[in-house]
Amino acid sequence: MRIAFFGDVVGKSGREGLCDALPDLRKQLQLDFVVVNAENAAGGFGITEKTANEMYDAGADVLTLGNHAWDQSETLSHIEREPRLLRPVNYREGTAPGRGAGLYDLPDGRRVLVMNVMLRLFMQPLEDPFASVSHEIDSCPLGAVADAIIVDMHGEATSEKVALGNYCDGRASLVVGTHTHVPTADHRILPKGTAYQTDAGMCGDYDSVIGMVKDEPINRFVTHMRSGRFTPASGEATVCGLYVETDDATGLAVRCEPIRVGGQLAEIIPEV
């Protein structure tokens, strides 16, 4: 199976970058399935039904979220009727609307399990991400029920991300991080066959502080005072993601390469 995963879409620049690039990338890379982290799609904070639909229309199969899941209050109801939108799976049962994992059918009958999970180091203490992810995978094992399993781990600390990746090694097709808004260059296939990258990076304008116009974030670090709001930077986005090819016999990865298109960062597109 040919899969692409794209990191945190930030604001209008990120949405436009993604929606412009995705149709071509789907064709060029012959993608079967596309997951996009969209927690910052709506003006940098959360997601709206309108912005979600733009991304489905451009070729996203599933959208994932993170700590910004609920920044737009409409998401509380939107997520209940939209099975393609996933919030972190490790909310205690009964506390959050929507779902954190879904099994999706491809037109040809293959099935992909996708989940979004929040890590805990320097973040909110949701339920144990290691146990939560294990539980989801065990309910729908790779090769037996799911033809591919994609884990979006939304987290800050590299140690926790690498630990979770290796904890899942051999049981998922791809474990990829989001949230830091900076792509890492450590894409690889772990020893037991799981594709891994610590962070997918954002889809947004990199001439910014992780997607926001630079002045206010710098000002806050320097003065510890607010002098305005955070607003998404509006320059051309770099669309950042990952291309993964799996072996349909096992669901494990045979190829894992970065995708970076447009904007400030060096362009790289896998050759298929």
Query: Are 40 and 62 within 8 A, CB to CB?
Result: no
Task: Decide if 88 contacts 152 (C-beta within 8 A).
Answer: no
Query: Alpha helices of 203-264 — where are they, by DSSP H?
Result: 215-223
Q: Residue 103's binding partner, choosing from a copy of itself, Fe ion, none, with beta-carbon cut-off 5 to 8 A by kind? A: none
Between residues 48 and 158, which has the closer beta carbon with respect to a copy of itself?
Answer: 158
How far is 96 from 116, CA to CA, in rounded Å? 14
- Neighbouring residues of 259: CB distance < 8 A, sequence distance ≥ 6: 4, 6, 25, 29, 239, 240, 241, 242, 243, 268, 269, 270
Residue 66 binds Fe ion, judged by CB under 5 A? yes
Q: Cβ 157 to a copy of itself, closest distance in Å?
A: 7
Q: How far is the CB of 228 from a copy of itself (least distance, A)?
A: 11
Applying CB under 8 A, which part among 17-25, 77-85, 136-144, 150-158 lies near a copy of itself? 150-158
- What does the block give as tokens for 40? 């910052």
- Catalytic-residue membership of 187: no
Per CB under 8 A, which of residues 252..271 are in contact with a copy of itself? 258, 260, 264-266
Identify the DSSP state of 49: H
**What residues from 101 to 120 belong to the interface with a copy of itself (CB under 8 A)?**
120
Q: Which one of residues 63, 142, 210, 253 is an interface residue with a copy of itself (CB under 8 A)?
A: 210
**DSSP run (H or E) holding 166:** helix 158-167
State the catalytic residues: 68
Instruction: Give residues in contact with a copy of itself (CB under 8 A).
Output: 70, 91-92, 95-96, 120, 122, 124-128, 130-131, 156-160, 162-164, 166-167, 180-188, 190-191, 198-199, 201, 206-210, 214, 217-218, 221-226, 240, 258, 260, 264-266
